Amino acid sequence: MSLNMWQGRLERVLLKHLEASGVDFACMQEAVQYDGQSLGLISSHRKVGSSLGLDEQFFSKIISSKLGDKELAFGNATFSNIPFVQTNTIFTRGTYNSDFNLDKDDYNIRAFQHALVEINGRKLHILNHHGHHIHAHKLGDDETMRQVKQILEYIKHLEGSVILCGDFNLSPESDSIKLIDEKLINLSVEYKLSTTRSKLTHKNEVCDYIFVSNDVKVNSFVMDDAIISDHNALILDFDIV
């Protein structure tokens, strides 16, 4: 599963829906780490992992600040039912900001996660990314292209199967997504999704993706239109061949 979880704003319906998902791996963007009282506004990635029933949890802090006397951190989270062999966080823009101020600081700090698991002796690399955001459009710019090139250069050196997913904040027509299409199979395009946004927003573009390498056998690929975020979850059933 890949989902921009919208900081878990719909905590109750989100967690209840995830309990029934039955997935083995999950990649979340706009994930949250917070150990205080949520007040129904946010849901910590730990609660998400518990609802998914996935013990392996890898959270990458992008920014954090104080909420009361607790740290409130935002970033990406990857979950697995198979132990991680290794995990890495690779920043594509900026560095972790531990004292983030929305009024003063660059909110476009970006990174991707790399989690390696082994399935029957085969390496599977799962990469989870929340892409650079441009307010005006989803066509990208020089900065999005630079970051995409950085991700592809990183993937080039990986041995094994690759799944790259996330909210890229880019449309299928963007040059940046087309560059990824040259290297990996774009399932959001292959399966002709018309939008990946939920009914909670007026936006109707495709901006969420799961890309796979040629040695990932796609058994099924669907968009789950349950309203658990302002994005819809993407679900891939696969084998490694």
How many C-beta atoms lie closer than 10 Å to residue 53's C-beta? 14
Q: Please report which confidence band the pLDDT of residue 215 belongs to, taking 50, 70 and 90 as the band edges.
A: very high
* Domain assignments of the chain as residue spans, ordered by start: 2-240
**Average pLDDT in the chain:** 95
Distance of CA 27 to the CA centre of its chain: 5
Residues contacting residue 87 through CB under 8 Å, at least 6 positions apart: 58, 78, 113, 114, 115, 116
Q: What is the pLDDT of residue 67?
A: 84
- Within 13 Å, how many C-alpha atoms sit on residue 118's CB side? 5
Cα(213)–Cα(148) distance, rounded to whole angstroms?
A: 16
Model confidence pLDDT, tens digit, residues 48-106: 999 999 999 999 999 999 988 889 999 999 999 999 999 999 999 999 999 999 999 99
Q: What is the pLDDT of residue 36?
A: 74
Q: Please report which confidence band the pLDDT of residue 39 belongs to, taking 50, 70 and 90 as the band edges.
A: low
The two tokens of residue 14 are: 């989100």
Share of the chain above pLDDT 90, in %: 92
Q: What is the pLDDT of residue 59?
A: 98
The two tokens of residue 179 are: 């560059």
Alpha helices of 61-196 — where are they, by DSSP H?
A: 142-156, 175-181, 187-190
Cα(133)–Cα(117) distance, rounded to whole angstroms?
A: 29
Share of the chain above pLDDT 70, in %: 98
Q: Tell me which CATH code domain 2-240 carries.
A: 3.60.10.10
Nearest to 14 by CA among 231, 240, 178, 223: 231
- pTM of the prediction? 0.95
Cα(170)–Cα(44) distance, rounded to whole angstroms?
A: 26
Model confidence pLDDT, tens digit, residues 140-189: 999 999 999 999 999 999 999 999 999 999 999 999 999 999 999 999 99
